[in-house]
Structures are given as structure tokens and as C-alpha cells.
Amino acid sequence: MEIIEKIKTNKSIDNQTEIQKICLDKLQSSPLPNPRSEQWRLSNKSKLSNFLDYSINENNSKFDISYPKNYQSNIRLIIGDNCQIKLIEKNYSIQQLSEDELQKYIKEQITFFNQNENWSDLLNLSLSGKNNILGLKINGSEIPPIEIFSHASSNYLNAKTLIIFLEKNCNVELLQINLGEDNSSLSQSTFFCLEENSSLNHGVVSYGVNKSNLLNSLNVIQQKNSEYNLGSLHFKFNYARFEIRIKQSEGNAKTNIKGMQITKKNEQISTYTKIDFDGPNGFLDQINKSLADDKSHAIFEGSIIVPKIAQKTDASQLSRNLLLSNLAQIDTKPQLEIIADDVKCKHGATISQLNEEELFYMRTRGITLTEASKLQLSSYFQEIISFIPVSKDRWDLLDKLLNQN
Amino acid sequence: MVNENLVKDVVKEPYKYGFVTDIETEKIEKGLNEDIIKLISQKKEEPRFLLDFRLKAFKKWQKMKEPDWAALGYKKIDYQDIIYYSAPKQKEKISSLDEVDPKLLETFDKLGIPLTEQKKLTNVAVDAVFDSVSIATTFREELAEHGVIFCSISEAVKNHADLIEKYLGTVVPASDNYFAALNSAVFSDGSFVYIPKGVTCPMDLSSYFRINSGDSGQFERTLIIAEESSSVSYLEGCTAPMFDTNTLHAAVVELIALDDASIKYSTVQNWYAGDEEGIGGIFNFVTKRGKCLGKRSKISWSQVETGSAITWKYPSCLLLGEESVGEFYSVALTNNLQQADTGTKMIHIGPKTKSTIVSKGISAGNSKNSYRGLVKMGTKAAGSRNYSQCDSMLIGDQASANTFPYIKSQQPNSEIEHEASTCRISEDQLFYLQSRGIEFEEAVSMMVSGFCRDVFNQLPMEFAAEADKLLALKLEGSVG
């Protein structure tokens, strides 16, 4: 209940947008997710309440986290920066969604929300004010790569929302970066709508500093013949949840997901994915990797839902996990729910540690144990990192993962 | 291998165990309360410790809630509308099979269970349980020569109270889950097996469960103890008559394997599944668990689940002893409106423990078949390994197949591998078989049997043949 009180005291009813009112109303009946529900069962309760402890901040402090300089060809946007975007070029156009369009879309989405499953979105939408919602409509081809930033400032709980419509036949590369400062909480909700024949190469890179928290929710609707590729990386968060919900609304669409989460110290990072095939001929290839060290806890839960209508679906899901310490733990639960009979669905899961034989081989060749482990880890990481679009080299992701604690 | 004509014959058969034996039974009134439990205990002339065990379990059960996490939908069970004790009326004491009511023997004969000891060729000792009580246990003397105790649990309570007191409820505690608590409070009979140190049981042991009455539940309890370096293979079969009401079956099976002991537990479950509209059928809520207490001990579950309207069953292994081994081989077939939520739990506690899971689910008609399994590596399970494979086959576009594997590891020096796949009967293969003159339904049943081969190979011979027949029978009319 506290969180609702906090939102209300932060912003009087008169100042609330209609969306905020609706979401607050929905949250009122059960302010916190049901800890016994499948989606929240393993989530660390004290870490979640710590997430909500920070005071709400709608005004954005200066964005001063160091990040690589921009290439001129890239479009770089910072959510909350109040930027007005209207780029109309020969081949393409990127325009801000009007308030009406935004409201209409969000309202429609809310009607499908389930209290536990979409709790992160409900919280996000009841927190994020007008300035912190970025809505874009993208059209055309040869669009320069786009980078979009969200960040949370120290000692505050920030909420950012991103909504993007990809119109027909449009191809986009987009890197989304979520940064947490010291002692901060970031609630990020993203909604993508991919129209027919459009394709999106999406990268999500999220990392914090010290005691940063993140609730990251991603909702994608794919119309037919669209292609959605996601490469994601989450690390250095005291507590982070990455929820992915993808719906192939008419089938005949392609989805590729490669995600990774790395936990150290006392951290808990979890990934929940739900892929709905609402039409025939859908395709999914998903791999999720976790690495847990020290006393940390990594969680993966993925579900694939194939109703009767989704004949000829081809879906595979793989969860690969490395457990590197005696005190760390990994939970993984890949699941299939299938009614259609003419489908190819499979999933797999492994939990192990670094391959000793490979380590031994490298040591006999004069490579130190530390170096050999790094080599093995870098090949483990590289599969995911290479899938992240837009200037991944400049972000030195591999270096960040291997050389920082 | 089942020959083709045989398959053809059985495909035409309806549920042949659906008859009711007209026999006088002694039933107590419907309902569940402390007095009923005391009455059951009194009827069975039980010692005090057992009554206390029952009452304690009942108190716990009253505070518990029926679990709702399984992917099952069924109408609420009215626990006060069930008869908790029903026994065929017979003479005071049975000293030999000749004194058993001939009608009862006839029933078991009809079911194909040789109770009469003349049929020694089969070399299987049988404990037959009819509604709430055990009717007869065969081959006793021969088993006794080897020191093997095989009797009904009520007899064991009288003659081997020390063993019962020591082991009952140690693997599945009364408060373990809702149905185990209910069973602990009202269990009426079941089998008890004790294999002494160093003995390899000279024959397969078998129990046969038969529900005869429509309004009484069956709550049997099986306890198997394998002492050091002993081994035993145990078979379990179940049938019930056709009633249009649902009957509750809530059993508990506890296995204990000490150092170097091995227990193989095979089940062919063919309770009445209800008719095509889903009317009637058994609600089967079973808690089966084995404890590999000793070093290098081994517990192997193999099951063929074809019956019951609702199946809720997770035979599990607690792998405590160093280098102990747990195995689970399962075929679950659902047709019409059957629902099954079944799987296993492999809890690796001791170091260097190993487990294998092979689960095959076949769903046809409008049925729902879910695999739900847990593999857990505890902090001390260094050097442990698990391999799981669950495959589902869908027949028809109305059936559903779900897989919910829970995997948890807290031990870096261990390996877990899990894989699952879903497929349908391949049209190419069907076409090939048909082009070779094999009829459609026969081709399907050959392919299903091939799909389940990994599991059938683990079953004792006579069970494997029965399982093959059963699958063909159950799939009748569901393809094409």
C-alpha cells in the first residue's frame, strides 16, 4: 500500500494524467505482486521493497554517467530530456506520437494487463509523467541506427516509458541503454508494435553502478511477416528483473532472442519471457545465458504458448547457465504449453561450470588459469554480445564483463 | 513384442475391467472426522502409535488447503461425501486362499491376476487389495525362507510394529501435502515389503489394487524397505469398475534403500478414466517418494499411466547417500477428457549422486497432459549429475501438452541437462507403413509403441507387453 500512498503524495490527483489514474486504480486492489504467483515466487522480497523505498522523482537530474561519444550518423535520444523529435528525410521519417495516439494505445494495452504479469508495467505507467514517456512513429528505410537512454539518478526511483510504432516495411536498428546510478531504482517499460513486413534489431544493455535496481519490462506485438531480433545484457544490479512479452498476433512472424544476465556479489537478476503465438507459421529461436558468482542468484523462466490456431509453429528455447560459486544459485524453468498438433517445439536447459578439460588444455599451453577462464568466458559472452546491434564495440561490453567486478 | 493381430484385437476392446463384483461389503458411514478415524483404527486393531499418527495427520490436513497449482481442472471434491472404509465381508480370519470368497478370486481371475498359488510358473508374488483391505498375499512361505516379508500393511502393523513405527512417514511425512495428509489419516491397507540384508528377492513382488465400490475412496499405503545390499523389483497394477461418479484415490508409497540396496518400482495404472464425455473416472492423487539413504543405493521408478480422469502424481527420489542413483521412466497417455499432471522430483542432497529422467507424454482427444518435474542440486551435491528428457506427442488438434521443468542448482560442481521436444505422428512414416500394407490404426500404434520404447525397455517383461496393449487400446478412435 505504501507505494500507492507515495505516488499520491508525490502528485495530487489534479496533476495526474488519465493513464496514471487508471493504473493507480488497478494497483489499488493489490498494490504488490502476489509473492506466491509463478512470476514472483523467486523474486527477493526485501530487494523488491528496497526498490520501492527510494523517493519518486519525476524531474530528471542531469545525465552525467560517462558513455561513449556519439557517432554523427547515430540518432541519440534520452528519455526525459524533453526533446522534440521530428525528422523527416527523403527515405524515412521519425516523429513523435501525439498525446492522443499515446493515450489511445496505452489504454488499449492496459485492458489486457494481468495484475501479476504486468505489475511492472502498471507501476511504471502510474509513475511516469508526461515528460518521461517517449512515443515514436518510424517509417521508411535506410534509417540511421538509434540509441535511446534511460537512467535513474542517485537516491531516486525514476520511471521511463518508451513506445515505438514501426510502420509497414520499415527496418530499424535500435540500442536501448538503461543505466542506474548509485542507490537508484529505474522502472523502464517499453512497448513496440511491429507492423507488417517491418523488422527491428533491438539491443538492450542495462547496467548499474552500486546498489542500482531495475525493473525492465518489454512488450512487443508482431504483425505478420515482421521480424524481431533482441540481444540483451543485464549486469551489475543489486536487483533486476527483465520481463519480455512477445505476441505474434497473426503468426507468420520471426523472433530471435539472445539474452544474458551476469550476477555477482549479493545480486539477483532474473529474466521472465512469455512468447504467445496467436497465428500459424510462427518462428522462435531463443537462448538465455546466466552466470552466477559469489552469493548471487540468477533466475530464468521462459514460457512458450502455442494455442490451437498456431499450427506449424517452430519454436526452440535454450537456457544455458554457469554456476561459479558454492554460495550462488541458479533457477531455470523453460516451459512449453502446446495445443496445436503440427508444431515443432523444443527446449533445453543446462547448468554447469567452466569446462575443466578445456581449462587444463589451455594451461598445458602456458596460459594462466585466470587467462584461461577469461578466454572461456569471453566465448560464452561473445555469442550474445555479437547479437546486440549498434556500435557494441564502442561500449566495450566484453571488457566491462570480463575485467570489472 | 506384441504381435500385430493382438494389437488389432485389443483395439476393438472397450475398458474391460469396468465390471462390478457383486459382493457383500462392510462399509462405514460417509464422512470424515476424528471418530471415523478412530473407528478405522479400531477395526484394524491398531496400536496406539498408529492412531496418534492418524489423528495428528488429520489435524494437519484440516489446516491445509487443496493444492491448485497443477494444470488440472476438476469439480470440487466433497470430502464428507466419501466412504473411508469398505471391506468385503468375509470370515474372521483367512488362513489360506481356499477361504477367500470365491467371487473375489473370480474377480482377480477376470482381471488376469493369478492369485492361486498353483500358477507358480508366473513366479510373481501378489498382494491383492480390494477396496480398503488386502485380500490375499501369495507365495508367502517361499519368500519367508529368504527372510523377505511381503504382506499387507495391516498385518505388518500387527506382526512387525517396530519396523512400521521406525519407517512409516519418514519419507512422506504426514504434513507433506494435502493428499498425503489425508492418506495418513485414513489409509486402510496396502503392501509392506521388507528385504533383509544381502538378499536379492527371489521373485518379482506385485500388488494389485481394485476399487469396487462407487462411493468409497481408496487410500492405500505402501512401504518398502531394502536393507543393505538387497534388491527387489515391485510391480503395481490398478483397475476400477465404470461408475458415472468420480472416485477418489489418494495413495502414498514410501521406499527406503540403504547402502548398496536397489528398488525397482513399476506401475501400470489403468484406473477407469471416465467415458468419452468425461463422466465418471477416478481422481488419482498419489504421493510416491523414495529415499536413497545409503551409499550407492538406487531407486528406479517406471510407470505407465493410462487411466484415471485426473492424475496428479510425482514419483520422486531423495538422493541422500553418496553415489546414490535415482531413475524415472514414464509414459503418460491421455485421451478423451483425461487430464494428467505428472512428473518427478530428483532432489540431489549427497555428493556424486546421479539421476535420469525419461518422460514420454502422449495426448489425444481433448485431453491435457503435463510434465512437471523438479531437479535440485543442493549445496553438498558436489559431482552430481542429472539428465532429463521429456518428449510429448500430440494426436489431434484438440489435445494439449505442457512441460514445466523446474531446475535449481546451488552446487557449481554439478551438471544438469534437460531437453524436451514436442512432435506429432509423422505423416511420412505413416505413409511408408501404409504403403507396406499396414493398416492406419495399426501403424499409429506401432509408432506410439516406438515412441515409448525407451520406457517400455525398463519395464518387467509381462508389464511391457501389457503396456503396449493398453496404449493401443486407449488410442482407439482417436486418430484419423
Which three-class secondary structure state does DSSP give residue A17?
coil
Residues A349, B407: C-beta atoms closer than 8 Å: yes
Q: What is the pLDDT of residue A13?
A: 66
The b/e string for A171-196 (b: 16+ C-beta within 10 A; e otherwise) is bbbbbbbbbbbebbbbbbbbbbbbbb
Closest Cα in chain A, distance from residue B108 (Å): 39
Nearest by CB to residue A342, choosing from B403, B412, B424, is B424
Residue of B nearest to A303 (CA): B404
- The pTM (predicted TM-score) of the whole model is 0.86
Q: Which residues contact A393 (CB under 8 A, 6 or more apart)?
A: none
Question: Quick one: cell of A290?
Answer: 546466466
What gap in Å lies between CA B239 and CA B282, rounded to an integer? 10
Report phi then psi at A51, rounded to 5: -55, -45
Q: Which residues contact B162 (CB under 8 A, 6 or more apart)?
A: none
Q: What is the pLDDT of residue A259?
A: 95
Residues B402, A336: C-beta atoms closer than 8 Å: yes
Query: Which of A339, A342, A353, A373 to mutate: most B Cβ within 10 Å?
Result: A339
- The DSSP output letter for B220 is B
For the stretch A3-9, contacts whose Cβ atoms lie closer than 8 Å and that sit 24 or more positions apart, written own/partner, are: A3/A27, A3/A31, A3/A32, A3/A52, A3/A123, A4/A28, A4/A31, A6/A52, A6/A55, A6/A56, A7/A56, A7/A126, A7/A127
Which whole number is the average pLDDT over A180-202? 93
- Comparing CA positions, the residue from A85, A43, A6, A33 lying closest to residue A297 is A43
- Comparing CA positions, the residue from B101, B248, B225, B54 lying closest to residue B151 is B225
Residues A350, B417: C-beta atoms closer than 8 Å: yes
Q: Going residue by residue through chain B (480 aa), what tens digit of pLDDT does each one get?
A: 333 343 334 333 466 666 666 666 777 788 889 999 999 898 888 899 999 999 999 999 999 998 888 888 888 888 888 888 877 665 444 555 556 666 666 666 666 655 554 444 445 566 666 665 665 666 777 888 899 998 888 889 989 999 999 999 999 998 899 999 999 999 888 889 999 999 998 888 888 777 666 677 788 899 999 999 999 999 887 766 666 778 888 999 999 999 999 999 998 888 888 888 878 888 999 999 999 999 999 999 999 888 888 999 999 999 999 999 999 999 998 888 899 999 999 999 999 999 999 999 998 888 999 999 999 999 999 999 999 999 998 888 888 999 999 999 999 999 999 999 888 877 888 889 999 999 888 888 888 888 888 888 888 776 777 777 777 766 665 654
Which whole number is the average pLDDT over A235-257? 94
Residue of A nearest to B396 (CA): A341
Query: Which of B355, B408, B428, B478 to mutate: most A Cβ within 10 Å?
Result: B408
Q: What is the pLDDT of residue A83?
A: 67
> How many contacts (CB atoms, under 8 Å) link A and B?
108
Query: Which of A306, A321, A351 to mutate: most B Cβ within 10 Å?
Result: A351
Q: What is the pLDDT of residue B134?
A: 64
Q: What is the pLDDT of residue B4?
A: 39
- Comparing CA positions, the residue from B352, B355, B350 lying closest to residue B378 is B350
Q: Got the DSSP string for B116-162?
A: STT-GGG-EEEEEEETTEEEEE-SHHHHHHTT-EEEEHHHHHHH-HH
Q: What is the pLDDT of residue A243?
A: 95
**Number of other CB atoms surrounding residue B255 within 10 Å:** 31
- The DSSP output letter for B76 is P
Among A67-81, A242-256, B232-246, the range with the most confident prediction by mean pLDDT is A242-256
Q: What is the pLDDT of residue B476?
A: 64
Closest Cα in chain B, distance from residue A37 (Å): 10
Residues B405, A331: C-beta atoms closer than 8 Å: no
CB < 8 Å to A342, chain B:
397, 424
Which whole number is the average pLDDT over A101-119? 88
Closest Cα in chain B, distance from residue A312 (Å): 11
What gap in Å lies between CA A113 and CA B370, rounded to an integer? 26
Residues A336, B420: C-beta atoms closer than 8 Å: yes
- pLDDT at residue A279 tops 90: yes
Residues B150, B156, B158, B163, CA torsion sign = positive
pLDDT digits (tens, 9 = 90+) for A113-126: 888 889 999 999 98
Nearest by CB to residue A324, choosing from B397, B412, B419, is B412
Residues B422, A336: C-beta atoms closer than 8 Å: yes
Residue found by looking up cell 500404434 in the block:
B445
- pLDDT at residue A335 tops 80: yes
Q: What is the pLDDT of residue A404?
A: 64
B408–chain A Cβ distance below 8 A for any pair: yes
Angle, in degrees to the nearest 10, between helices B34-43 and B48-63? 150
> Which one-letter amino acid corresponds to residue B6?
L
Closest Cα in chain A, distance from residue B70 (Å): 12
B417–chain A Cβ distance below 8 A for any pair: yes
Question: Quick one: cell of B305?
Answer: 499411466
Nearest by CB to residue A351, choosing from B398, B399, B409, is B409
Q: What is the pLDDT of residue B359?
A: 94
Q: What is the pLDDT of residue B205?
A: 85
CB < 8 Å to A331, chain B:
406-408
- The secondary structure of A287-334, three-state, reads EEEEEECCCCEEEEEEEEEECCCCCCCEEEEEEEEEECCCCCEEEEEE
What gap in Å lies between CA A329 and CA A295, rounded to an integer? 8
Residues B379, A352: C-beta atoms closer than 8 Å: no
Residues within 8 A of B (CB atoms), A 292-331 only: 308, 311, 321, 323-331
- Comparing CA positions, the residue from B263, B209, B211, B217 lying closest to residue B242 is B211
- Comparing CA positions, the residue from B420, B410, B261, B403 lying closest to residue B348 is B410
> Which one-letter amino acid corresponds to residue A295?
K
B394–chain A Cβ distance below 8 A for any pair: yes
Which three-class secondary structure state does DSSP give residue A247?
strand
- Comparing CA positions, the residue from A110, A127, A120, A111 lying closest to residue A40 is A120
Q: In angstroms, what CA-CA distances link B48 with B60, B158, B167? A: 18, 12, 16
